[in-house]
Structure 1
Amino acid sequence: MLDVRRVLLLVEASDRGSLTAAAEALGITPSAASQQMSRLESEVGQPLLHRLPRGVQLTDAGRALAERGHAIRRELRGAQADLESLAQLDRGTLRLGSFPTASASLLPLALTRFSRKHPAMHTTVRSALLAELLELLHTGEIELALLWDYEWNRVDDDSMEIEHLLDDPTVLVVPANSELVDEPEISLADLAGQEWIIRADNHPVAEVLRRSCRLAGFEPGISYESHDYQEAQAMVAAGLGIAIAPRLALTNRRHDVRLVNFATDVPAPTRRILLARMANRTPTPAAATMAEIVQAAAAKFADSNLHRTQLGTVRRT
């Protein structure tokens, strides 16, 4: 196998007419250049240069190898340009993973900021359940993923770098005209006689409701099973029951429902919003930049939630 660096030395000697000039162009000494050229000739088994009193002249073998070397140099320069372009985020693809609630609230802000700063980058997003997102990270099909967990199902994987972005509290969703809106504070135990709108298909928020109600000493009465948060809000507005939901899931709240915070002394479960990547893979420049943007977007949402809570000593939004 030929040493590419020595072939490039031959190319420079061909272009510049001397080994001394080639050595200067490559930042090595003339002595080192002469030694490397001798080794290349030994590798190919025949002379490549005629040493003249002033400069060098390529042999037929030298010209043939130098011609190939010019093509190699062009490809290497092209590769360097590609890498610089990727480092400057002037090209390439960023592969993200997310889940529906984040995709409807936090992620759009991050994507908009990223695309404005780096319009030449192409971004793809895979929306999936938690287990699938973890698998996509492991297989390398995505570089970064927004994840969530609760106290009883922590994402705990030593092969991943996991950052806690923000806490997403559980809130109560009631009709706009509900008498519950006027309560100074509410605990789940106060809601034992209510009918509930629950998420269908063993959705995580359904588990949150059942766990919370059992801790409060009752089983929730279910009046409707919804398949998304907009449908749940509609059924709440229609008076079919009340519901709970993570606050981020209610970024687009209907005008005819209200959100009520639970009493702070007996809080409903809060989920964590996380950003994850594989620990054994150095993040690409695009992934590193997006991670910073997601962190800033999450801080904005966290401040917004805190502001609502601080203003919400009346516990209504």
Structure 2
Amino acid sequence: MYDIRRLSMLVMIIDCGSVTAAAKTLGYTVSALSQQLQRLELEVGQPLVRRQPRGVVATEAGALLAGHARYVLRRMRAAESELDELSGLRRGRVSVGTFPTVGTTLMPMAISRFRREYPDVRLEVHSARFDELVSSLQENSIGISLLWDYEWNRIDEPDLSLTPLLEDPTVLVVSEDHRLGRTRHVNMSMLRHEDWIVRKSGHPVAEVLERSCRGAGFTPKIAFEANDYQEALAMVSVGLGVALAPQTAVVSARPGVRIVSLGQEAPSRRIVIAHRSDRVRPPGEHAMHQILVDVAREHLLADRPS
């Protein structure tokens, strides 16, 4: 494999018709350029130019190699141009992972901003459960993803780098005609006699309920196990019971329910951006990462009491 820099020098020498003119164009001394030409001739094993009284002309081998060199140099310039476009976010693709409960809050705002700022970059968004998102990151089928965890079960994936975005508080959801429907804040101890709607056993919010009730000194009476938050909210709306949910899961709550703050009475979940730490990340991923950070910061400011 020949040195691309020396091939470029050969093309310039042949095009200029002399080592002196090529050296002046390239900013080399005549001696330095002559040495590089000699090294290339040694690598090829035959002369590449023939010296004449007024300059040089290409030998048959020199003309052949210069022809191939021109093609290589054109392809390299094209590659540099395309890389510049990727670097300048004028083309490319970004693949992002998300999960349903932020699909109505942070992610739509981030998508809108990314498309507005980088319209020529293709954005692919994949929504999945936690384990699927982690597998997709590890398999490199997505570049970055939103993930979540709780303090007793932190994400423990050594190959993932995590950027904390925000703490997503746990809130109480009640029907609009519930005795607490017009209350802004409650304590868990006020809920010991309630019937509870909860996600199926094994879902993290079920453990949130168990820990919160245990901390308040009682065991929750389960009225219904829901398959998803929409089903849970539907059952709350008809008065079958009350429920706990992450705040981002109920921002767009259905009619007939009220959201009540629990403050620090129930554990919050942490939302993070994750990416593989061993990857060189393309510019588009860095841009989406920063947009997610900015959107999360704005979300926190919007939720802060005035």
TM range (shorter): over 0.9
The residue identity in structure 1 corresponding to 2:80 is Q
- Which shifted more, 131-140 or 238-247? 131-140
CA drift at 1:156 = 4.1
- 1:174 alignment partner in structure 2: 174
- Match among 297, 300, 303 for residue 299 of structure 1: 297
CA drift at 1:122 = 0.8
CA contact (8 A) 1:196 1:220 kept: yes
Q: Distance in 1 between matches of 2:226 and 2:294?
A: 32
1:2 has 2:10 as partner: no
Large movers: runs of 4+ above 6 Å: none
The residue identity in structure 1 corresponding to 2:299 is F
Larger proportion of helix: 1
- 1:314 alignment partner in structure 2: none
1:230-250 per-residue CA deviation (whole Å, 9 max, x = no partner) reads 222111111111111111111
The residue identity in structure 2 corresponding to 1:305 is D
SS at match of 1:152: coil
1:34-65 per-residue CA deviation (whole Å, 9 max, x = no partner) reads 11111111111111101223221001111111
- Which shifted more, 222-231 or 46-55? 222-231
- 1:281 alignment partner in structure 2: 279
Q: Distance in 1 between matches of 2:52 and 2:201?
A: 84
SS at match of 1:13: helix
CA drift at 1:200 = 2.3
Distance 1:25-1:99 versus aligned 2 partners, 3 A rule: farther
TM-score by length of 2: 0.93
CA drift at 1:152 = 0.4
Q: Distance in 1 between matches of 2:243 and 2:188?
A: 11
The residue identity in structure 1 corresponding to 2:289 is A
CA drift at 1:21 = 3.1
SS at match of 1:209: helix
CA contact (8 A) 1:196 1:224 kept: yes
* Equivalent residue runs for 1:178-217 within 5 Å: 178-183=178-183, 185-200=185-200, 202-217=202-217
1:208-234 per-residue CA deviation (whole Å, 9 max, x = no partner) reads 112222222222222222222222211
The residue identity in structure 2 corresponding to 1:64 is L
Percent identity over the alignment? 45
1:88-130 per-residue CA deviation (whole Å, 9 max, x = no partner) reads 1111111212211122210111111011111110111222222
SS at match of 2:163: strand
CA contact (8 A) 1:51 1:57 kept: yes
The residue identity in structure 2 corresponding to 1:300 is E
CA contact (8 A) 1:167 1:302 kept: no
1:154-205 per-residue CA deviation (whole Å, 9 max, x = no partner) reads 1244543322111110000011111112446422222122111111262221
Distance 1:116-1:201 versus aligned 2 partners, 3 A rule: farther
The residue identity in structure 2 corresponding to 1:298 is A
Distance 1:258-1:67 versus aligned 2 partners, 3 A rule: same
- 1:241 alignment partner in structure 2: 241
* Equivalent residue runs for 1:101-250 within 5 Å: 101-183=101-183, 185-200=185-200, 202-250=202-250
SS at match of 1:151: coil
CA drift at 1:292 = 1.1
CA drift at 1:277 = 2.0
Aligned length: 306
Distance 1:45-1:98 versus aligned 2 partners, 3 A rule: same
TM-score by length of 1: 0.90
- 1:73 alignment partner in structure 2: 73
SS at match of 2:147: strand
SS at match of 1:180: coil
- 2:96 alignment partner in structure 1: 96
Q: Distance in 1 between matches of 2:115 and 2:213?
A: 43
- Which shifted more, 210-219 or 34-43? 210-219
Distance 1:132-1:197 versus aligned 2 partners, 3 A rule: same
SS at match of 1:197: strand
CA contact (8 A) 2:85 2:91 kept: yes
Q: Distance in 1 between matches of 2:297 and 2:68?
A: 54
- Which shifted more, 86-95 or 51-60? 51-60
CA contact (8 A) 2:147 2:272 kept: yes
- Which shifted more, 238-247 or 132-141? 132-141
CA drift at 1:72 = 0.2
- 1:315 alignment partner in structure 2: none
Q: Distance in 1 between matches of 2:52 and 2:259?
A: 89
